[in-house]
Structure formats: structure tokens, C-alpha cells
Structure 1
Amino acid sequence: MRNIARYWIAGFLFLIALVSPAQAQTTQKVVDIPTRPGVTQRMLVLSPPAPRAAVILLAGGHGGLQIFPNGSFNWGAGNFLVRTRQLFADQGLMVAVVDAPSDRLSPPYLSGFRQKPEHAADLKAVIAWMRAQSKVPVWLVGTSRGTQSAAYVATELAGPEGPDGIVLSSTILTDDRGRPVPAMPLEKIRVPVLVVHHEQDGCALCAFANVPVLMGKLENSPRKALLSFKGGENRGDPCEAMAYHGFNGLDREVVPQIADWIIAR
């Protein structure tokens, strides 16, 4: 029995050792901030000690995460950016996972709203809050339809009101339901832009062959780069998070490279 207890304790201590120091010290809380008159914006905030930068994570799809007060999600828990939020924090980044605003908490949520002035106003308030809390550069990171939010806001907000940089992962490059990212006035973006894309992305709206068009339109960005990936796992709907589109199986490869590029500034 003593040997069994000894092995159990040793195994328990080993599991504790696997938890990174950053993860052990990261705090998590749900925050609601006022944005427009009568409207609040809910987000799940992860705060590591002494963050080196801050990221606002914008999920794809309809964007209605429906974050509960305890920090769990009614929808979107498997989304690439939602599921990797702790990995971003482990890299020394303060993280905000953003829900739909209080006046968009039912269908269609953010669908049809991502390129509206009200959406820019909501994210302007989030950027200001994150900047005040973290005292470090604040970046917008969008994936799939979240790239339409990130790119739109970067074309609408500049200077202290806007982000210090943006990351576009699995960018919407063509769109039969609205304006894709390359069709936006991207020449207005004058902050660093990192494009992250899977070369085997099977989503019809995100064909890797169309990425050069996007890169060519970021003409006034002071620093831009493309991170491309291959492999991983490809399951289910090609436009969903468990396919190549969502970098399934590559989280621990993709996130550190994004964080390194952000911090390198």
C-alpha cells in the first residue's frame, strides 16, 4: 500500500509540473463594459502576470458565444481562437474573448453586423479597456468571419482609438453574402498585419490560392507577413473548426508563432 501511495503522489506531482507557470498564475474573469448607449459588451478576460501584449480574439461564424457568468460558452467552444485562449495567455499575452454585444444576443448575432459602425464602436470600447488594463499594445485577432470584424475595424479606427496591429487567420477571401476582406479599403490600414492561413483550407470562401490578392492590398501596412501551415487533422465541415480551416491538430504550432510575431514588434 505504501508503494501504491508513493506512486500515486509521484504521478500527481508530475501532473502539476506539466502545468506551465504562466497558466498557473493566469487569472480569468467575465467582464461587461459599456459601449454604445444602453449597450454592454461581454468578454472573457485572461490576465497573465506582466503581459507583453494584449489580444482581442474574434471568433468566426455568427459570433454569438453567449458567455455565461462562470466563463463557459453556450456556443463556439471549439472555435480555433476560443479553444486556444489559454495558449495565448501562456505566451504572455493578455486575452479577451469577445461575445456579441447585449443588443445582439439572439440570432443572427453578429451576422450582417460585422461591418457596421456600431460594431466598430463596440470594439473601440474593448480596445480602450484592454489598453487601460494592460498598459501594452493591443491587437485584434480574427478567424474566419472574425477576420471581417478585425479588418473592418482596422480600416475604420486609427491611432489611439484603433488596434496596434491585427492578425487575420483563415481570412474570408470571397463571400457571396457580403464584402470579403480583400474588397475592403485595406490601404487605410497603417498598422502591422499578420496573415495566417492553412494551405489545405477546404472552405470555398478561404482558398489559399487567393491569399496573394490579400497580401498585395496591404500596401500601407508598415509590417506584414504570411504564416502558412500544412497538415493537422481534417474532419467534418471544411468551413468549421475541426477541419484544416480551424488549424485542427496544430494549435501548439500556430499560436506560439502568432504570439512571437506580435511580441517581436
Structure 2
Amino acid sequence: MKTALRCWRLCLFLLLSGLLLPLRAQTAPQVVDIPTRPGVTQRFVYLTPGQPRAAVILLAGGHGGLQIFPNGSFKWGEGNFLVRTRALFEQQGLAVAVVDAPSDRQTAPFLSGFRQTPEHVADLKAVIAWLRVKTGVPVWLVGTSRGTQSAAWAATQLPRADGGPDGLVLTSTILTDPHGRAVPAMPLERVAVPVLVVHHQQDGCALCAFSEMPRLMDKLTGTPRKELIAVSGGTSQGDPCEARAYHGYNGVEAEVVGRIAAWITAP
């Protein structure tokens, strides 16, 4: 009895201190396929707490071809920052859609060369619409690394009134790209929804140097609210452009997801 009482008091203390989230009813992950363009479907893994506060569409980096199996597992990308933290977003009270390449891009090069096309924008617009109907809460696009090129481009092409997102989160943004259009080179002045930028100060990827961050923030002139969260800490392993380096917030995932969730659900 005394042990149970001590545990109860500890949980109460943590709740009052904001260090422990209240338990939320959660459902089992679902694999969802929705039609987007003629003859094309878009697959994603959907997770949700009982009463979500907002919804996030998570866009992985790299080639983006997660190749989601019917049981909800991934052939590729399980280690990607946004893929591996999907349950953390759900635990923060957010509905989550982890988006694959569409059905007509299920072989190499997957999303490479496709992220800034009208077809990709149409696919993401369909996912946004599905989540709005399903949840009834604001829907945010969240990209990491190459995924920021998908998220940012879609936000420049889709105003909120035309089915675009309610907000945008860019993590480990592609700031320079010798073979394509980096995010700061996009018409970001068109983005009229809140924008949160998250970047590790020690990101060692040549395409994501923290010193280039002012170019991005200065272009966000149309947003009603913007902020840069500069992350520090964690550990870096392997290729500096991969998910287990600072680029992927290795070791500080929970902190980063918590700060993202707090920002997008702020009144």
C-alpha cells in the first residue's frame, strides 16, 4: 500500500511539473490508401490518440520511398527521424500520417526529382483533406531533410483556403542544393500559415549548415508566426547527412518532438 501511494504521489508530482503527459487513449496503427490522381493512390500509416489536438503529416527525407507493407512496417526509412519518432508525436496528442511515395513512384528513384511537382502537391493535398475530415483538427505538414523540400513546396503552392496545410514545420532543412532548388530558393513569401523551423546547431550535412539559416528565416515574410528552434546536444554517428547524426537529432528526439508539439498546439 505504501509503495502504491508513493508511486501515485510521484505521478501526480510529474503531472503537475509538466514532465509527464496524461495518458491518452490510442488506437492501433492503420495502413490507409486513398485515391489522389487518376489511377494513383497514396499510402500512409495513420496513428491517433483518442482526441487529437492537431494532426501532422510526416515527410521523410532521402528518396522518400518507405514502401509501407500492409501490416504497417517499412521496407526503408525506419531509422529516419520522423519515421522513428511517429509514436512520440502520437503520445503528444497528435494524429499522425507517415506518408510513403505514391503508387506510381514505388520504384527508384521514388520521390527524388518528384518533390516539387504538381502531382506531388496533389497527393499531399488529398492526405490533408482526408485528415481534416477524419480528425476535425488543424493539419500541419512536417518535413525533415529532403522532406522539407516536399513540405515547403506544397505550402507555397497550396494556400490554406485551397486545401493547404494549417501550418508548416521544417526540420533539418535543405538550405543549399547544387542539383536542385533548396528551400530558401522557393517563393516562401507565399506561405501565409505559421512556420516552425527546427535545426541542430551542429548539423554536419553540407546541404544543411546552420550558418545558412538566416537565408531561410528572412524569406518567410508572409507568415503570421515564425520561430527558429536551435537544437543542441545528442550524439552524432556515421554519415553527417543521415538520421543517426546531429542531422537526425540522435539522442534528443523526445525533446525535439515535445517542443514541436508544444509550438503547433499553442493557443
- 1:90 is matched with 91
Q: 1:243 aligns with which of 211, 223, 245?
A: 245
- Secondary structure of the 2:148 match is helix
Task: For 2:220 and 2:26, locate their aligned partners in 1 and report how far apart those are by CA, in whole Å.
Answer: 38
Scaled by the length of structure 2, the TM-score of the pair is 0.91
Counterpart amino acid of residue 167 in structure 1: V
Task: For 1:109 and 1:139, locate their aligned partners in 2 and report how far apart those are by CA, in whole Å.
Answer: 23
Task: For 1:67 and 1:231, locate their aligned partners in 2 and report how far apart those are by CA, in whole Å.
Answer: 32
Counterpart amino acid of residue 71 in structure 1: G
Counterpart amino acid of residue 27 in structure 1: A
- 2:36 is matched with 35
Unpaired stretches in structure 2, ≥5 consecutive residues = 1-19
- 2:233 is matched with 231
**Which consecutive segments of 4 or more residues in structure 1 shift more than 6 A?**
none
Task: For 2:42 and 2:129, locate their aligned partners in 1 and report how far apart those are by CA, in whole Å.
Answer: 13
Unpaired stretches in structure 1, ≥5 consecutive residues = 1-17
- Mapped contact 2:21–2:92 kept (Cα < 8 A): no
- Mapped contact 1:51–1:136 kept (Cα < 8 A): yes
Q: Does 1:259 align with 2:261?
A: yes
Scaled by the length of structure 1, the TM-score of the pair is 0.91
- Mapped contact 1:63–1:110 kept (Cα < 8 A): yes
- 1:123 is matched with 124
TM-superposed deviation, 1:21:
2.8
- 1:181 is matched with 183
- 2:142 is matched with 141
- Partner deviation per Cα, 1:123-180 (whole Å, 9 max, x = no partner): 0000000110010000000000000000000000012410000000000000011100
Q: Does 1:199 align with 2:201?
A: yes
Task: For 2:224 and 2:23, locate their aligned partners in 1 and report how far apart those are by CA, in whole Å.
Answer: 34
- 1:78 is matched with 79
- Mapped contact 1:20–1:90 kept (Cα < 8 A): no
Task: For 1:99 and 1:38, locate their aligned partners in 2 and report how far apart those are by CA, in whole Å.
Answer: 16
| Coordinate RMSD, CA, aligned | 1.3
Total equivalences in the alignment: 247
- 1:211 is matched with 213
Task: For 1:21 and 1:193, locate their aligned partners in 2 and report how far apart those are by CA, in whole Å.
Answer: 28
TM-superposed deviation, 1:28:
1.1
- Mapped contact 1:27–1:48 kept (Cα < 8 A): no
TM-superposed deviation, 1:25:
2.4
Identical counterparts, % of pairs: 71
Task: For 1:152 and 1:109, locate their aligned partners in 2 and report how far apart those are by CA, in whole Å.
Answer: 17
